[in-house]
Structure 1
Amino acid sequence: MNKVELVGRLTKDPEIKLTTNQTQFCNFTVAVDRRFKDQNGQRQADFINCVAWRQTAVFIQKYFRKGNRIGLVGSIQTRSYDDQSGQKKFITEVVIDEAEFVESAGAPAGDVYRPEPASPVPTQSFNPPSADSVAASAPTAPNMQIDAPVSGGFEEGQSGELPFEI
């Protein structure tokens, strides 16, 4: 199984490019914090190269900017090529299948774009926090458990109100 799940911050604004066949794609790097601090108490980060194709690339370019936290699901892919001097170069990158909002500034957390045939790109707007706002540097909320009992239920395709606030 080849599956990668990442949560990190974009290192620059994503840009859409086109292949010679006019297929849209987007290369970007995500800074992902390591789980543990180093000997000096500093948290290290890995800079992971990613590529998204077609509607997923458009979604990322449209809704995310440098510094935004992003959740990604994909797979690792390796490839090689010969550079101008004839030396073989190897590339390892994550091919993105899904992208989702991690921060909730302007967009509900957990919104996910999973490309499906004939599925339009979501049309909600996303306004990233300004650099001087508290939200730009705030940590994410901890996982919370809601102990209120839920009465009844919803069938697929139905909506309604929950008996408690989230």
Structure 2
Amino acid sequence: MLNKIMMSGRLLTEPAVTTKDDLRYCKFSIAVDQPKQKGIDAVETDTFTCLAFDDNANAVSFLYSKGGTITFVGSLRNAPDNTAVIIVEELHFQNRFAVKVDVNSEQIF
């Protein structure tokens, strides 16, 4: 069975890393435009909940902010409340993107 999904959308929430029982994760929501239909000017959007773990969580929190565009590959999973959650497995960068820089961290990307 294959469970892969590629998404590109705008972040609806500010990503932040949370640590619980030695598990680092970043939970965020994205809005993805549906394909534009012929003769209809309005574009509908779908909202998805996403989870990134460990290094991916740190990268999402460091490189992206609310309103920015994110592109990633992941897998679709069921949450305990029977909603769909996308698990981020790979981050993909476009040629142009804005980077949040923390000058106190001395971390260079």
TM-score with structure 2 length normalisation? 0.82
Residues 67, 38 of structure 1: CA spacing in aligned structure 2 closer, same or farther, 3 A cutoff? farther
Matches within 5 A, 1:46-65: 46-65=46-65
Matching residue of 2:96: 104
- Larger CA Rg, structure 1 vs 2: 1
Residues 94, 100 of structure 1: CA spacing in aligned structure 2 closer, same or farther, 3 A cutoff? same
Q: Which amino acid aligns with 1:50?
A: C
> Could you report, residue by residue, the CA deviation over 1:106-128 in whole angstroms, capped at 9, with x for unpaired residues?
56xxxxxxxxxxxxxx832xxxx
Residues 68, 102 of structure 1: CA spacing in aligned structure 2 closer, same or farther, 3 A cutoff? farther
> Could you report, residue by residue, the CA deviation over 1:128-156 in whole angstroms, capped at 9, with x for unpaired residues?
xxxxxxxxxxxxxxxxxxxxxxxxxxxxx
Separation (CA, whole Å) in 2 of partners of 1:103 and 1:92: 30
Residue 6 of structure 1: CA displacement?
0.4
Report the RMSD for the aligned CA atoms in angstroms: 2.0
User: 8 Å contact 2:63–2:98 — kept in the other structure?
Assistant: no
Matches within 5 A, 1:51-130: 51-80=51-80, 89-102=81-94, 104-106=96-98, 123-124=108-109
Separation (CA, whole Å) in 2 of partners of 1:38 and 1:9: 23
TM-score with structure 1 length normalisation? 0.55
Separation (CA, whole Å) in 1 of partners of 2:61 and 2:73: 16
Residue 55 of structure 2 aligns to a residue whose secondary structure is helix
Residue 38 of structure 1: CA displacement?
8.4
Residues 1:5 and 2:6 aligned together: yes
Residue 40 of structure 1: CA displacement?
5.0
Matching residue of 2:27: 27
Q: Which has the higher contact order (CA 8 A, sep 6+)?
A: 2
Residue correspondences, number: 101
Percent of pairs with identical residues: 23
- For structure 1, the 5+ residue unaligned runs are 81-88, 108-121, 125-166
Separation (CA, whole Å) in 1 of partners of 2:42 and 2:59: 33
User: 8 Å contact 1:18–1:24 — kept in the other structure?
Assistant: yes
- For structure 2, the 5+ residue unaligned runs are 100-106
Residue 56 of structure 1 aligns to a residue whose secondary structure is helix
User: Which has a greater percent of strand?
Assistant: 2
Separation (CA, whole Å) in 1 of partners of 2:30 and 2:95: 15
